[in-house]
Structure 1
């Protein structure tokens, strides 16, 4: 979504208007508007959502996946969120803070947020500004295992001025903070604040929120059931309950969607092998929509061979990427060289294009001293060029992709061993603490819809080295650190675009990871299930289940 350059003051004033997400990095989804049209909402019934990875993290401030986020959107609320049109919509906040309404200072550092009155937690306790302060303080508690502190770490003097008003000062202007807060779920002070250790509190397995659905039960390895919150402060919910059914085998997942046992097949999406048949099913809608996820091969730079740039370059040249996307995914994904989604205002379309050139890959490795051994596998200084690659077990398309990748790399004298595991295992400490060697994964690198990637690439965001963030690649680059700092402080979008395009160029040149494609997720819903609306500004299309209902 292209928007004009903005001065600092103009940026802050614009945050009061519809379509504000364009100013902070949003992407509109105009063509999807038609999906929201339909009959008047009818209350009642339930939805069974079929997913291929099991939600296991129910405290929304802790490290979790998009499958966990599907639960968070139902149980919890944010101060505001970004909808499918790229508009920032107040939720717990009564209005967006702006310069015009006194909620923001002209320099973007002083924030005053007014909250809605009359909101209650699921246990009936009133929601107040003290809960917001507790949440922000907990995020910055060094002993708490938080998902991300970027932006929040700049908070100073967080003060409750009334039950329905809170204010704070940022130590410096931080352009992405509006977007960061759109994905910061507020937790209850009266429950977590009494816990001996928020990291292990009972709340983390039986959460209490202010969202449209209340916690029902979890049957480990099977499902999570959520019940309607009759005291919800917003529109809806119209459904009586939502069931997230975990089915790791994606053939079985599709079979249950085809038979009607599942109402919505999402998050992992419909596997390409079932695409043609699914579109012919009666009373179903199959929706393909670009997603912010970028499929890539994550490389752990703490693993010695991957610290050699020549190895990373050779692996990329040896990948027959286009053929793999055509053969397995029928060309659905969008080939990419960047972590920023196509169509985003910060996207750099001038990055070098991938080429499949095994001969060049071999020459690079020869020059770097990685020479074939007796078994054909290259080695250098006694170290074989061999490593494991992991992904979620049960993902047939990725498992097929791994087999082709293994062949590509074997051709140049590289030995890749496949070591897959359940999603709940792989995306735990194995991923978060950089215990892997390489992983096949799709990630949303944006913060809400802002292109700031400090949590992903800052040298201070490496969890395995004591940092707070998502830099599981263990990548370090002083120039990148400097650009990230500049980009987060700059309010002029034209200047920010240049900064983030330079960042994309460095990440692509260094091949921090091996980019494959931007995801186009194909999801299935029953024809009478109304309100479902893909949202490229969220990591889960379950973001608005409160608006779903069954048409007559």
Structure 2
């Protein structure tokens, strides 16, 4: 059974719906308003497998997508995006809009209403104080925050009552609703008396309001979650959710094939197994587009990559067509940008990549990068030599690295492969830009909103002292200007032009060498219901509250 969903752009109606949810238009479409429905008696167990190990359990700290596989189960956001790009409430009673009085006409005053009667996993009542604490912690200068975008514009956060709070924005910020939709709310009381929030006990024993409680963790193997019987929405319908880590993707598939795994999560079934997987009895296999793109990312602080000619030469020497066809069986779609092709804001007029070793060598010759005695090019004492890293055990990426290593070598560039286990690779090594280059998959969007400030704004590089996810340490004055302009506009057509130009600038600068947009192969047993693709969310468990067995 195959449901290929790699095509079809977000249309203007969907973009307008999103903008309405973000604030200045009509009422948002509420995809799910089922608070306090009678919960089913949870039963059964599902084993969900990821190829990487979640290691960061405070969702406000720097983290990667796999960590959100746990967050969606343990925590709640105020609201979230459904697969159609509409926002629906979770901890909030409604998504704030101009129409319902939640946002002022100028976008500067916000009022948020919360559900009454929600409790944390330890029985403590959830209140507006928790939301205020969460929002303020993100901009605490002493806290290692994963993102300050949007939050830094919030002023005078005021608790009106246990179920209501207000704040002002220092300037209109169109992506604010999308930022809030990806903000997991954490409990204020868990930090009472804690001197350093970065080392709080909570960070290893999380307490949420979500459908599952954190039961135990066996480092390097699995996390066990149990049903929260007091959950405030429908579900959970499972008694136990096991999140298992299987770093080797061949082993991941073998365990799915044998029945040891019920649902295959990221990095999913590899394309070389697709033909067989579709014939497996009692299994459901689907191919779905995602907002994640694969690239060869550069650390822009390294002297090798300061010269634009080097970046352009490396891109010309990247044989991504062979990588896609030979290793990924043509399943992913080549791309020139970070923006998913399903997005209303996708720029389809970008220059198309051509693999051309002669052109690559000529670019380096013209820029003065000449071969040394050992054949490696150098200029002004800097050699075109660097490491490339990714997740050990991801055999397709490891094979892609070998392709890249060979073609780079053909133009006098030496690339050493240096891979790490997932917890090491995507820890400080990635977050603090300790790498030279990486092969990495990223989703840079917050839901369906096109803002990517956290990833590309010059001030958002942790290695340069910022609080964000610009791990490429990319700096561009024009990109900064465009990001500010795009976040200040609430008109989809105006924003589209801005983000199309933004993609042009990044495509010209090449802080990363784009390869393809993911089309992932998902698998589950046919007695598992609930898992659903959602291009507007970063990981499979976005609706784990709905999953059932039997």
The verdict on a shared fold, with TM-score over 0.5 as the criterion, is yes
In the alignment, the residues of structure 2 paired with residue 272 and residue 89 of structure 1 have an alpha-carbon distance, to the nearest angstrom, of 34
User: 2:209 maps to which residue?
Assistant: 210
Counterpart of 2:524? 525
Partners of 1:65 and 1:193 in 2: CA distance: 27
Note if 1:335 corresponds to 2:327.
no
3-state secondary structure, aligned to 2:429: helix
Partner of 1:443: 442
Higher mean C-alpha deviation, range 351-360 or range 267-276:
267-276
Indicate yes or no: 2:114 matched with 1:103: no
Name which of 27, 36, 44 aligns with 1:16.
27
Q: Any unmatched runs of 5+ in structure 1?
A: 21-39
1:9–1:107 Cα contact (<8 Å) kept: no
Aligned residue for 1:288, secondary structure, equals strand
Cα offset for 1:85?
A: 2.2
Q: Corresponding residue for 1:465?
A: 464
1:482 aligns with 2:458: no
Can you list the C-alpha shifts for 1:431-450, whole angstroms capped at 9, x where unaligned?
Answer: 11111000000000112221
Deviations 1:211-239 (A, max 9, x none): 00001000001110000000000010000
* CA shift for structure 1 position 19: 7.5
User: Which residue of 2 is the match for residue 268 of structure 1?
Assistant: 267
Q: Does the 8 Å contact 2:458/2:476 carry over to 1? A: yes
- The answer on 1:397 being equivalent to 2:401 is no
Partner of 2:62: 63
Q: CA separation in 1, counterparts of 2:334 and 2:51?
A: 24
- Does the aligned pair in 2 maintain the 1:6–1:491 contact within 8 Å? no
Which residue of the partner structure matches residue 350 of structure 2?
Answer: 351
**2:277 aligned partner:** 278
Counterpart check, 1:3 vs 2:12: yes
CA contact (8 A) 2:256 2:264 kept: yes
2:360 aligned with 1:361, yes or no? yes
Deviations 1:476-515 (A, max 9, x none): 1111111111111111111111111100000001111100
- Partners of 1:279 and 1:14 in 2: CA distance: 44
Q: CA 1:448–1:192 in 2, change beyond 3 Å: closer, same or farther?
A: farther
Residue 381 of structure 2 is matched in structure 1 by 382
Structure 2 distance, partners of 1:146, 1:126, is: 25
So what's the TM-score if we normalise by structure 1? 0.94
Alignment match, 1:252:
251
Q: Deviations over 1:24-82 (max 9, x none)?
A: xxxxxxxxxxxxxxxx9884101001111111001111111111100000000000011
What residue is the counterpart of 1:123 in the other structure?
122
Partner secondary structure for residue 544 of structure 1: helix
Trace 1:60-209 onto structure 2 (pairs within 5 A).
60-209=59-208
Query: Are 2:315 and 1:316 aligned?
Result: yes
Q: Which residue of 2 aligns with 1:512?
A: 511
Asked whether the 8 Å contact 1:188–1:208 carries over to 2, the reply is yes
Question: CA–CA distance in 1 between the matches of 2:151 and 2:22?
Answer: 20
Q: Is the 8 A contact 1:336 1:517 kept in 2?
A: yes
Q: Is the 8 A contact 1:319 1:356 kept in 2?
A: yes
In structure 2, distance between residues paired with 1:41 and 1:390 = 46
The range that moved more, 170-179 or 447-456, is 447-456
The separation in 2 between residues aligned to 1:379 and 1:311, in whole angstroms, is: 11
What CA distance in whole angstroms lies between the structure 1 residues aligned with 2:269 and 2:152? 39
Contact kept, 8 Å, 2:369 with 2:379, in 1: the verdict is yes
Q: Across the two proteins, how many residue pairs are aligned to each other? A: 532
Structure-1 separation of matches of 2:16 and 2:396: 43
Report if aligned partners of 1:272, 1:329 keep a CA contact under 8 Å in 2.
Answer: yes
Q: 1:190-249 CA deviation, whole Å, 9 max, x = no partner?
A: 112332211101101110000000010000011100000000000100000100111111
8 Å CA contact 2:21–2:97 kept in 1: the answer is: no
Residues 9 and 15 of structure 1, relative CA distance in 2, 3 Å threshold: closer
Q: Give, in whole Å, the separation in 2 of the partners of 1:249 and 1:420.
A: 13
Unaligned runs of 5+ in 2: 1-9, 32-38
SS in 1 for 2:497: helix
CA deviations 1:89-128 (Å, max 9, x no partner) are 1000001112222111001110001101110000101100
The alignment partner of 1:108 has SS state of coil
TM-score (ref. length: structure 2): 0.94
Q: Is the 8 A contact 1:42 1:549 kept in 2?
A: no
Task: Answer whether contact 2:150 2:179 (CA < 8 A) is retained.
Answer: yes
**1:370 aligned residue:** 369
Give the 3 Å change call, closer, same or farther, for CA 464–10 of structure 1 in structure 2.
Answer: closer
Q: Which position in structure 1 is the counterpart of 2:542?
A: 543
Q: 2:175–2:449: 8 Å Cα contact kept in structure 1?
A: yes
**What is the aligned partner in structure 2 of residue 27 from structure 1?**
none
Q: Given the alignment of the two structures, is residue 302 of structure 1 paired with residue 301 of structure 2, yes or no?
A: yes
| 2:6 alignment partner in structure 1 | none
Please identify runs of 4+ aligned residues in structure 1 that moved more than 3 A.
Answer: 4-15, 40-43
| 1:287 has 2:286 as partner | yes
Flag the 1:58–1:276 CA change in 2: closer, same or farther, 3 A.
same
Larger mean CA deviation between 230-239 and 442-451 belongs to: 442-451
Q: Is the 8 A contact 1:293 1:518 kept in 2?
A: yes
Is the Cα contact below 8 Å between 2:21 and 2:86 reproduced in 1?
A: no
Secondary structure of 1:166 counterpart: strand
Deviation, 1:273, is: 2.0
* Cα separation, 2, equivalents of 1:239 and 1:343: 32
Would the aligned equivalents of 1:299 and 1:513 in 2 still touch at CA under 8 Å? yes
Cα distance between partner residues in 2 of 1:190 and 1:386: 50
Q: Which residue of the partner structure matches residue 35 of structure 2?
A: none
Distance in 1 between residues matched to 2:529 and 2:471, nearest whole Å: 38
